[in-house]
Amino acid sequence: MRRSTGAVLGAAILLSGCSFASESLWPSLTGDEPAGKASEKVSIPPSRAEMNNQPTFSAPPPALAGTPRAPIMAASGQPTGTMVGQKASQLRGELQRLKGMLGQQNGQLQQIRQTTTNNAQRYHGTVAAITARLQLGTTPGNPILVNQWNAAQVELDRISGDIATMNSLANQIASNSSLAAYVLEAARAAYGLTGAIDEDHRQLALLEDETNRAVVLIDRLLSEINEDVARQTSYVAGERSNLTTLASSIKNGELHGSSLMARAFAVGAQGPTFSTSSTPRSGFVAGGRQPLVVIRFDRPNVPYQQALYTAVSKTLQVRPEANFDLVAVTPTQGSASEQAMAQSTIKKHTNNVLKSLMDMGLPASRISLSASSSNASVSNEVHIYIR
């Protein structure tokens, strides 16, 4: 009786052992753990590597969210001794090389982003210091502000260099698509080779899955870096225009504001109807139009820049597509020599007003120049009209 009971228990143990061994050796096609390993996970604590792979919500999010990670490679397959197995081993090596390049390029992207962030922070810190000084008022052409402006220009140039580095990295990432396509096509073609065993096809299936994951990561990296390049390029172009306007503010010792060109593109920014001029609406009128601004040069160093900027800026808020006419007006009174001298002087004043508008960010293509004379004018004047 004892012998029969022991035999039955032994057979049960052997049968359960055979079942465990067969299930653990059978390949998992779904990616889940094979049956029979759940009890082992309960009793054995996870390793450090497994703990690192688990998601955590206690740590702060990464500085650059949505950054793709390098693909996780499948375990190396065992050599099968067949020609298809050798082909699978060769493709596995190419895929491992692709994974290494993607991981390295992903790290380079993060480094470039961090460098760009640091450069942008230094740039805005310098511009803020200049703006604060101008807001309080300072001397025209303050050398301290000039040095700070030069430093801001250097930081902006560094951001432009970061954009060039991003473009170069994007080309490197795009070149990985060719290697991924080769591995994918070669793995699919290997299914048709004769002399393969089931293990060979299993390894080819794993290679195909991992290569598809790598293709997704390549596309995601390219999409992110192209968005970064477009965003930074637009940002640098706008800041260069603002720096030009800031240089004009430093030259005059007072703060004007952001670039007029930036306001010109602010379509949809509506404001109240206004009428701005440095003088009452009387005197010379060109073609029945009322001037937006009249600048009278009846004394040396007329401070017209801030009033000119305010008038043109408000105009562009209401009419972003507006162009402007600069009319040089000279009085008809006086002798011929006095009128000739007045025409020579007004030409210089008009060029200065034109340069001021361009320094404020208004393109020269949106400004036209003309000259006229008026009986009502007692001094040289520059009129600005909306066209």
Residue 223 is part of a domain; what is its CATH number? Answer: 1.20.1050
E-strand spans in the chain? 293-296, 324-331, 367-374, 381-386
The reported pLDDT for the residue numbered 164 is 92
Question: Does residue 246 sit in the same domain as residue 267?
Answer: no
Q: What is the mean pLDDT of residues 283-295?
A: 73
User: Residues 209, 349: one domain?
Assistant: no
Q: Which residues pair with 384 in a beta bridge?
A: 293, 326
Instruction: Looking at the structure, tell me whether residues 247 and 267 fall in a common domain.
Output: no
In the structure encoding, which two tokens stand for residue 284, read together? 């010379």
Q: Are 221 and 176 in contact (CB under 8 A)?
A: no
Question: Do 248 and 329 lie in a common domain?
Answer: no
Q: Is the dihedral of CA 273, 277, 281, 283 positive or negative?
A: negative
Going by pLDDT thresholds of 50, 70 and 90, the confidence category of residue 385 is very high
Provide the domain count of the chain.
2
What was the pLDDT predicted at 76?
A: 56
Does 235 share its domain with 291? no
User: Looking at residue 144, what is its pLDDT?
Assistant: 93
The CA distance from 331 to 375, in Å, is: 6
Q: Over the stretch 321-343, which tens digit does the pLDDT of each residue have?
A: 889 999 999 888 777 777 788 88
Structural domain includes residue 28: no
Do 112 and 142 belong to one domain?
yes
Q: What pLDDT shows up at residue 12?
A: 41
Q: Residue 91 carries which side chain, given as an amino acid letter?
A: L
User: Of 252, 286, 317, which residue constitutes the final position of a domain?
Assistant: 252
Identify whether 120 is part of a domain.
yes
> d(Cα 275, Cα 255) in Å, to the nearest integer?
22
213: pLDDT strictly greater than 70: yes
Helix then strand then coil, % of the chain, to nearest 5: 60, 5, 30
Query: What is the pLDDT at residue 46?
Result: 47
Q: Among 51-60, 134-143, 363-372, where is mean pLDDT lowest?
A: 51-60
- Note whether 244 and 271 are same-domain residues: no
Predicted TM-score (pTM) above 0.85: no
CA distances from 105 to 87, 100, 386 (A): 27, 9, 52
Same domain, 281 and 348: yes
| 73 domain residue, yes or no | no
What pLDDT is stored for residue 273 in this prediction? Answer: 31
The arithmetic mean of pLDDT across residues 4-28, rounded, is 40
Q: Which domain holds residue 240?
A: 83-252
Report the share of the chain in percent with pLDDT over 70: 72
The pLDDT value recorded for residue 66 is 45
pLDDT tens track for 186-212:
888 888 888 888 888 888 888 888 888
Mean pLDDT of all residues belonging to the chain: 75
